Amino acid sequence: MRISPEIESLLSLLSRLPGLGPRSARRVVLALLKNPQGKMLSLAQALEQAASTVKTCSVCGNVDSSDPCLICSDPTRDQSVVCVVETVGDLWALENSGLYRGSYQVLGGVLSPLAGQGPEDLNSRSLFHRIEEGRVKEVILALSVTVDGVTTMHWLQEKLKPFAVAVSQLGQGVPMGSTLEGLDDGTIAAAFAARKVVNG
Amino acid sequence: MRISPEIESLLSLLSRLPGLGPRSARRVVLALLKNPQGKMLSLAQALEQAASTVKTCSVCGNVDSSDPCLICSDPTRDQSVVCVVETVGDLWALENSGLYRGSYQVLGGVLSPLAGQGPEDLNSRSLFHRIEEGRVKEVILALSVTVDGVTTMHWLQEKLKPFAVAVSQLGQGVPMGSTLEGLDDGTIAAAFAARKVVNG
Ligand SMILES: [Zn+2]
Ligand SMILES: [Zn+2]
């Protein structure tokens, strides 16, 4: 395609973003090119602003423009409950559901012998620091139900045993609105294992 | 969602781009946040570069960083053939197919009585200017096969009659690799109208 190097490099950067490919990158650039001084520059500035302000929260590992993050410094949230998640994306998904009003611990991954990821690679120190200071009453383990996720939850359970904190795990089973067809074997197995008597 | 205003406004801008929604905007921002000083700033700079260099080509209406655009100033392309398209997106689609080695005229739209879009709203002047100067031998009408697109092609055919240029239109019919099921009525009608005797 005969196109200016400036547009070419923009297309190339965009097409490597998750969920975008060459075709959708072209659609995005065409939309931005309709208003280069408006939409396009606003997006450039928003990216710069975000890049220059983002920090990792020293309390929970969340990404935000303040440290501690907005969640850790929110007095209306229950800081004595900590939900342990794998990634900031998981935190966002939970925040988006609007269900949860406690705090988080973002591990940044799970234990993975295959990927050479050990306990020292996880962001768990600040969780135990909070627990040792007596600021935590309950820990909710919300890691993904994969081999590595389950291993990591077991490891955390062991590490949490010496402390007087309640430890729980998210319920496992068939997702709401979902049929069995299309679920992976692990989810079906977990749903069977978690079956409940419903006739008293 | 409790999130920094900087990330919030980035999410909001991204989620309004074509093909993206709140969910895919979050995925994109999470990917960029993994490397704020790298990926995120590169994208910001690429957007700024593109915004500050884009121009509309005075010959054909293409968007590029030079005027005339790279296509209009390419001596290896046949400048005596002009393919008339609706948008820069159509031009990109044709360029991407690699099939066409002539030049373009980007109308920027089609005649549309309903949308109040008349001849004076189309970028056609530079096409007739090129023709009057004797630089054009053939005009290919490649507008979309919609009521407005067909009206616009008829209008152009009339306007081109006084000139000694060959005028052609893209073949219409069933797209390659496509079944009739799933095609819209207009395409099926055009395919019928364009049917050819194949048994001699
Ligand atoms: Zn935090
Ligand atoms: Zn041009």
Chain B residue closest in CA terms to A108: B34
Query: Cα–Cα distance between B9 and A200 in angstroms, integer?
Result: 51
| 3-state secondary structure at position A195 | coil
How far apart are the CA of B68 and the centre of ligand 2, in A? 5
Closest by Cβ to A4, choosing from B48, B53, B95: B53
Please list every residue in chain A whose beta carbon sits closer than 8 Å to the beta carbon of residue B45: 44
d(Cα B94, Cα A125) in Å, to the nearest integer? 56
Across the interface, of B2, B36, B64, the residue whose CB is closest to A4 is B64
Give the start-to-end residue ranges of the domains of chain A.
Answer: 5-53, 63-197
Q: At what angle do helices A5-15 and A22-33 cross, to 10 degrees?
A: 130
What confidence tier does B142 reach under pLDDT thresholds 50, 70, 90? confident
Of the CA atoms within 13 Å of residue A21, those in its CB half-sphere come to 1
**pLDDT tops 80 at residue B189:** no
Report the DSSP beta bridge partners of residue A117.
A112
Tens digits of residue pLDDT in B73-116: 999 999 999 999 999 988 988 888 788 899 999 999 999 989 99
Q: Using a CB-CB distance cutoff of 8 angstroms, which residues of chain A are in contact with residue B20?
A: 19, 24, 28
Going by DSSP bridges, is the β-strand pair B78-85/B102-106 parallel, antiparallel, or unpaired? parallel
- Determine the distance separating the centroid of ligand 2 and the alpha carbon of A6, expressed in angstroms: 16
Partner residue opposite B13 with nearest CB, options A2, A46, A48: A46
Range with the lowest mean pLDDT among A40-44, A180-184, B162-166? Answer: A180-184
Poorest-confidence range of A85-89, B27-31, B191-195?
A: B191-195
Q: CB–CB of A33/B63 below 8 Å?
A: yes
Distance CA B27, CA B160 (A): 50
Residue range A5-53 forms a domain whose CATH class is mainly alpha
pLDDT value at residue B200: 52
Query: Is-contact B107 B152, C-beta < 8 A?
Result: yes
Residues of chain B positioned with their CB less than 8 A from the CB of A9: 46, 49
DSSP A143: -
Which listed CATH number (3.40.1000.10, 3.40.1360.10, 3.30.40.10, 3.40.1440.60) goes with B63-197?
Answer: 3.40.1360.10
B7 shares contact with chain A (CB less than 8 Å): yes
Residues from chain B that touch A74, judged by Cβ atoms under 8 A, are 2
Across the interface, whether the CB atoms of B28 and A18 are under 8 A apart is answered yes
For the cut 90, the answer to whether the pLDDT of residue B144 exceeds it is no
Is the minimum CB–CB distance between A28 and chain B shorter than 8 Å?
Answer: yes
**Residue A42: count of CB within 10 angstroms of its CB:** 17
What's the rounded Cα separation, in Å, for the pair B135 and B127? 10
Name the nearest CA neighbour of A64 among A18, A124, A106: A106
Q: Which of residues 106-135 of A touch B (CB under 8 A)?
A: none
Tokens found for residue A164? 């007087």
The backbone torsions φ and ψ at residue B81, rounded to the nearest 5 degrees and listed phi first, read: -110, 130
Distance, in Å, from the CA atom of A114 to the CA atom of A151, rounded to the nearest integer, reads 13
Structure tokens at B162: 């006084």
A181 touches chain B (CB under 8 A): no
Cα(B58)–Cα(A164) distance, rounded to whole angstroms? 74
Q: Are A121 and A50 in contact (CB under 8 A)?
A: no
Nearest ligand by distance to the CA of A63 = 1
Instruction: Out of A14, A19, A47, name the one closest to residue B44 (CB).
Output: A47
For range B168-184, the mean pLDDT: 74
Q: What is the DSSP string of chain B?
A: ----HHHHHHHHHHHTSTT--HHHHHHHHHHHHTSIIIIIHHHHHHHHHHHHH-EE-TTT--EESSSS-TTTT-TTSEEEEEEEESSHHHHHHHHHHT---EEEEE-SS--BTTTTB-GGGSS-HHHHHHHHTT--SEEEE---SSHHHHHHHHHHHHHHTTSS-EEEE---SSPTT--STT--HHHHHHHHHT------
A4 touches chain B (CB under 8 A): yes
Give the confidence band of A42 by pLDDT, cuts at 50, 70, 90.
very high
On the question of a common fold for A5-53 and A63-197, the answer reads no
Task: Write the pLDDT tens digit of every residue in A5-35.
Answer: 999 999 999 999 999 999 899 999 999 999 9
pLDDT of residue A62: 96
The predicted structure's pLDDT at residue B127:
97
- Residue A156's pLDDT is what? 95
Strand partners, A56: A63
Residue B41: is its pLDDT beyond 80? yes
- Using a CB-CB cut-off of 8 Å, the residues of chain B touching A37 are 51
Does the model's ipTM exceed the 0.85 cut? no
Distance CA B49, CA B97 (A): 26
pTM for the full model?
Answer: 0.80
